[in-house]
Chains A and B, each alone.
Chain A
Amino acid sequence: MKNSDAIGVVLKRHGNDGTRLMQILRETQEALGWLAPATLTVIAAGINWPRSRVESTAGFYSFFHTEPLGRYRVLWSDNITDRMLGNMDLMQAMCEKLWLEPGRVSADGLVSVDTTSCTGMCDQGPAILVNYRAITHMTMERINQMVELIHVQTPLAEWPAEWFKIEDNIRRADILLTNTMAPGEALRISFARGTATEVETSFSERSWHESMQASDIGASATLDEIKKSALRGRGGAGFTTGLKWEACHNAPGRTRYVVCNADEGEPGTFKDRVLLTRQPDLVLEGMTVAAFIIGASKGFVYLRGEYRYLLEPLNAVLAKRRKLGLLGENILGREGFNFDIEVHLGAGAYVCGEESALIESLEGKRGVPRNRPPYPVTNGFLNQPTVVNNVETFASAALIAAKGGDWYRSFGSARSTGTKILSVSGDCERPGIYEYPFGVTVRQVLEECGAHDTQAVQVSGPSGICLNRDEFDRRIAFGDVPTAGAFMIFGQQRDIFEVVRNFVHFFAHESCGFCTPCRVGTTLLKNLVDKIADGNGTRTDIDEIFHLNRLLQTTAHCGLGHTACNPLLYTLEKFRPAYERRLKLLKFVPAFDLDAALSQARQMTGRDDAGAHLEPQSEVAQ
């Protein structure tokens, strides 16, 4: 098939719709290997967009390549937990066997090896992606076999199936993960709700009820349950879900949208992956309940590109639900309730987890956070009212819709109701998924996952908070230690500075580049931390870190920039010796090795005399 034909097929599948550009680019790339300049031109013509805008989108995402990167593209997940499991040595060994350098394509154009941000397999690392398919538990043995398969160009489909097996590792299940509700049950209960006389309404609720058709009473009564449950968002910010849905319902608009945020990009988080594997119906049902409440007709699951392997299973569940009348027109026979869901795959960009960037991405654009206000609830997808919620939020909402707000409130604590799923990884005997009622102490989690001699726990990922031993009695709860789910454990043997360095590199790699402080600042921070790692740091550099932090916290455009310094701040406060033992006594040391800066001249002149070297600064008086 000619390239243009292959592109034509993809374009046709997506109705030449520019808002579907992400999917068009991904499918084209899957067919052709990469996105050549001519390919982008054809796509642009096909969707009737200026070519520059198509290139703009293609150039933003890590998983789209506008340069050929080999028929086999191997990406090593580079979260700190992968590092602790030895991924760097393994990657080096793989590169040696393939005769290439990390980041480069082999001379024959067959294969490239590089790193990528956390792929969400922290409990079963070291993990890699090969052509965006996840493989876990990497070992030398697997590398040997894999290199062989690559050399003889065995298609991925014929690689050993067990390599692609992803474990769920559910270690503690509570109301979400033990759910056995039949698909559709929460919807049926919601439809039926409020037809009885039990609806007690407060003044504010009444105003809404009055604006409703009689048939909407079930929706408003279900919203009351959501509000009563005091459910708060599980994606990080912790906004009250009922209020968000109500605001969206009340916002004027032609069409309404429900978006499930399954971008799960925060390193160390993998609970949404397990929810989508084990409880997909619950999540999709939560979305459908939301649609019922706000009056939406269309939903999206924004699934991170790293979870590409979940696309087909999720589509199968969607198809099943359509068959069962749980999606599509007149859902469960309810006249006029039309709603369908589609999976949108991301392409390697952490910032797309930020809800407005996510919406931009859904529209086929670069994942850049919007100026707010206005917020998505009033001006979201295609400028229409949109709710964006985390996977776990929707799953919880489905339970609440079925069992009621009071039931839900009986779990957790008064201000943090319900349960929270933690993604536990790092130095412990049983990494995996732990669902706890809110209020559990850090210590209890550590005990139950078999962590001994723990030095620190990073809760909620790099943008979250680093706890030291004195803080293990603190509780997982909105008022104490809030979390989006990551729980990374570092034993006494770990170097906290290396943890931080990994996180700082992560932010620099993931900054979208929209605003000056984050675009430049995260790179400057990375350079400073590398300088300290190289043994060239001084107190002046620590001061500069604090200075940059104040700038980012106050002037960055979105949460990524606001929190990019968190790893440095928390650890400078709690693990200062990890920095100090690397610092020079001097006030100033260059960031680079001056002797190495003469290397090219030495090489070209063949000189190696004393004059061809520069002693390090530390031996020179300041």
Chain B
Amino acid sequence: MNAPRKLKVATTSLAGCFGCHMSLLDIDERLLELLEFIEFDRSPLTDIKHCGPCDIGIIEGGVCNAENVHVLREFRANCKILIALGACAVNGGLPAQRNHLDLRDILAAVYVTEEGLVPGTQIPNDLELPLPLNHVHPIHEVVNIDYFLPGCPPSGDAIWKFLTDLLAGHTPRLGHGLIRYD
């Protein structure tokens, strides 16, 4: 009997705090169990820089700059299933609290009018730096998302339940205590 093909999973952190990835590691020894069924493609947990064709893409964090958009699109183009992991991916989270401010005012405040700046400090225009978007967006506003797992971060148990449901072929159902917005 052939062992079933391992599912390819890619993960990334956009405008997030990495808390969700920490939580993913928080599923502890069960991670090993999980690795019997999945293998990681591009992920901060691996060294792979670009996402190849994958079964599942897991996105932490919202979209706050041009690079986030590119990465998110790469994931969408390559992943059959895309999951928004954590509060920031689901509704923008903390970074989105800047959304009621004008980006120009923020940039000016940080790089021009802030006290104690080195004289001559300018708003960086380095070509290497991704430009920030006018507003922070949850990822479902930028590409189509198949599943959402809220929580800041979602607990290791929630992630475990979610992924194992998915691997088993059911629509993930988190019961009381696992579904959390904080």
Contact = CB atoms under 8 A, between A and B. Distances in A.
Given A594-B142, A621-B77, A603 B133 contact: no
Nearest to A605: B125
Contact of B144 (A600, A609, A622): A622
A168 to B, nearest CB: 49
A622 B77 contact: yes
A620 B123 contact: no
Contacts of A617: 73, 143
Given A598-B66, A614-B66, A591 B141 contact: yes
Contacts of B123: 604-605
A598 B125 CA distance: 13
Given A600-B102, A622-B76, A588 B143 contact: yes
How extensive is the interface on chain A, given as a class? 20 to 34
Interface string A582-609: 0000011011101011111111111101
B103 A601 contact: yes
A193 B24 CA distance: 86
B134 interface: yes
B132 interface: yes
Interface string B142-167: 11100000000000000000000000
Interface in B97-152: 102-104, 107-108, 123-125, 127, 130-135, 137, 141-144
A612 interface: yes
A333 interface: no
Interface hub of B108, B141, B144 (most chain A Cβ within 10 A)? B144
B83 to A, nearest CB: 15
B107 A601 contact: yes
Contacts of B27: none
Nearest to A540: B144
A479 interface: no
How extensive is the interface on chain B, given as a class? 20 to 34
Given A601-B131, A604-B107, A607-B127, A612 B66 contact: yes
Given A600-B134, A602-B131, A587 B144 contact: yes
B125 A607 contact: yes
Given A590-B141, A612-B131, A603 B104 contact: yes
A530 to B, nearest CB: 14
Contact of A604 (B76, B108, B143): B108
Interface string B67-104: 00100010011000000000000000000000000111
Contacts of B127: 607, 609, 611
A606 B123 CA distance: 9
Given A599-B134, A614-B69, A590 B108 contact: no
A601 B132 contact: yes
A601 B129 CA distance: 11
A604 B133 contact: no
B105 to A, nearest CB: 9
A611 B125 CA distance: 11
Contacts of A601: 103, 107, 131-134
Contacts of A602: 131
B136 to A, nearest CB: 10
Contacts of B142: 590, 594
A607 B77 contact: no
Interface in A12-60: none
Given A591-B141, A597-B133, A598-B131, A605 B124 contact: yes
A598 B134 contact: yes
Given A590-B141, A598-B66, A600-B102, A620 B131 contact: no
A621 B73 CA distance: 8
Contact of B134 (A588, A597, A611): A597
Given A601-B131, A601-B133, A611-B131, A606 B66 contact: no
Contacts of A612: 66, 131
Nearest to A610: B127
B131 A606 contact: no
Contacts of B132: 598, 601
B148 to A, nearest CB: 15
Contacts of A596: 134
A598 B141 contact: no
Contacts of B73: 617, 620
A605 B131 contact: yes
B128 to A, nearest CB: 8
B67 to A, nearest CB: 9
B51 to A, nearest CB: 13
Given A599-B134, A612-B66, A606 B144 contact: no
Interface hub of B66, B131, B143 (most chain A Cβ within 10 A)? B131
Given A598-B66, A611-B131, A604 B104 contact: yes
Given A597-B135, A622-B77, A606 B104 contact: no
A41 B66 CA distance: 50
Contacts of B77: 620-622
Contacts of A609: 127
B29 to A, nearest CB: 37
Contacts of B144: 540, 587-588, 622
Interface of B: 66, 69, 73, 76-77, 102-104, 107-108, 123-125, 127, 130-135, 137, 141-144
27 contacts: A540-B144, A590-B141, A590-B142, A592-B141, A594-B133, A597-B134, A598-B131, A598-B132, A598-B133, A600-B104, A600-B134, A601-B107, A601-B132, A601-B134, A604-B104, A604-B107, A604-B123, A605-B123, A611-B127, A612-B66, A614-B69, A617-B73, A620-B73, A620-B77, A622-B77, A622-B143, A622-B144
Sort A-B residue pairs by CB-CB distance and give the 7 closest, nearest first. A588-B144, A601-B131, A605-B125, A600-B103, A597-B133, A621-B77, A604-B107
